[in-house]
Amino acid sequence: MPARRDPLIERFLDHLWLEKGLSDNTRSAYRTDLSLFADWLALRSLSLEAAGRDAILDHLAWRFDQAYTARSTARLLSSLRGFYRFLVREQVRASDPTLQVDLPRIGKPLPKAPSEAQIEALLAAPDVDTPLGLRDRTMLEVLYATGLRVSELVGLTLEQVSLRQGLVRTVGKGNKERLVPLGQEAAFWLERYYREARGSLLGGRPADVVFPSLRGEQMTRQTFWHRIKQHAAVAGITSTLSPHTLRHAFATHLLNHGADLRTVQMLLGHSDLSTTQIYTHVAKARLQALHAEHHPRG
């Protein structure tokens, strides 16, 4: 069932786009959270603009009974806080009912990055003697070399990639641009892919997207995820793989080989170092290993 289009919610989403530049995916998550809460209120003859602290607490208790995760509930409460702050600012209501509602405690899960051996097996899985296989191999190489978000990868255009400089210029969350090094291996596969496969996939159709689908259009994120699953099966990898786990692998393997958190933050396009600190355990483990290996009392 599609999320209901509440006028107040749509005004709030327009505000997020105009003033904060949030992506379509982020605003869609806000819409889902707020619409589900509005539907729950409506069943109890309440409205979004009139709901008070007690209604929010009742809803959180209901979510607990329905076995919603603490993480999803925290995301909902974050959506509600932003929404009610907006309503107060717009003078739709006098006070924010979320001010005295605490966030549920959640622990950040450690990223389950594939090992370097698994990555090597995955990269070797596509049949590079076919245009489709060569495209997939190149996409995997670029993803692992750069740590791009999947939306950034499938949306890459020719002008964003400089083989001469060995750089990818991408625009991430909040319309923030960053430059990411390609590395020699990814550059090699890109050159080969341009030379041997891209024209065949396009079939003479004009397009500026680097990795077109068989229809010569931009590939969807879901299609690429499906391709990864296929290649993981060929590589004999039974653990769950996705574009996001490959992004985790990029960050984790950089740290394992001596990169610092600030560098990884810049490469991933995180606006705040606290987001990158989910990888602190990786950096600590490497420091402990180095200490044990090199310190006279390690």
d(C-alpha 99, C-alpha 200), whole Å = 58
d(C-alpha 253, C-alpha 147), whole Å = 11
Q: What is the pLDDT of residues 151-183, one digit of tens each?
A: 899 999 999 999 999 999 988 777 778 888 888
Residue 140 carries which side chain, given as an amino acid letter?
A: L
d(C-alpha 248, C-alpha 270), whole Å = 13
Residue 104 has pLDDT above 70, yes or no: no
Residue of 156 and 280 predicted with greater confidence: 156
Residue of 131 and 289 predicted with greater confidence: 131
Q: Which residues contact 50 (CB under 8 A, 6 or more apart)?
A: 93
Are the C-beta atoms of 201 and 131 separated by less than 8 Å?
A: yes
Question: What residue spans of 160-298 are helical by DSSP H?
Answer: 184-196, 198-202, 221-234, 243-256, 261-268, 273-276, 280-294
Task: Write the CATH number of the domain with boundaries 116-292.
Answer: 1.10.443.10
Q: Distances from the Cα of 168 to the Cαs of 21, 112, 116, 265, in angstroms?
A: 22, 26, 23, 16
Coil, strand or helix: which one is 246?
helix
Catalytically annotated residues: 149, 173, 244, 247, 270, 279
Identify the CA nearest to 170 among candidates 207, 189, 143: 143
Q: Where are the domains of the chain?
A: 7-89, 116-292
pLDDT bracket for residue 3 (50, 70, 90): very low
Q: What is the pLDDT of residues 37-51, one digit of tens each?
A: 999 999 988 888 888
Residue 230 has pLDDT above 60, yes or no: yes
Q: Which CATH superfamily is domain 7-89 in?
A: Tyrosine recombinase, N-terminal domain (1.10.150.130)
Q: Is 239 left (phi over 0), alpha (psi -120 to 50) or beta?
A: beta
pLDDT bracket for residue 232 (50, 70, 90): very high
Helix axis angle, 24-42 relative to 53-65, nearest 10°?
A: 100
Residue 110 has pLDDT above 70, yes or no: no
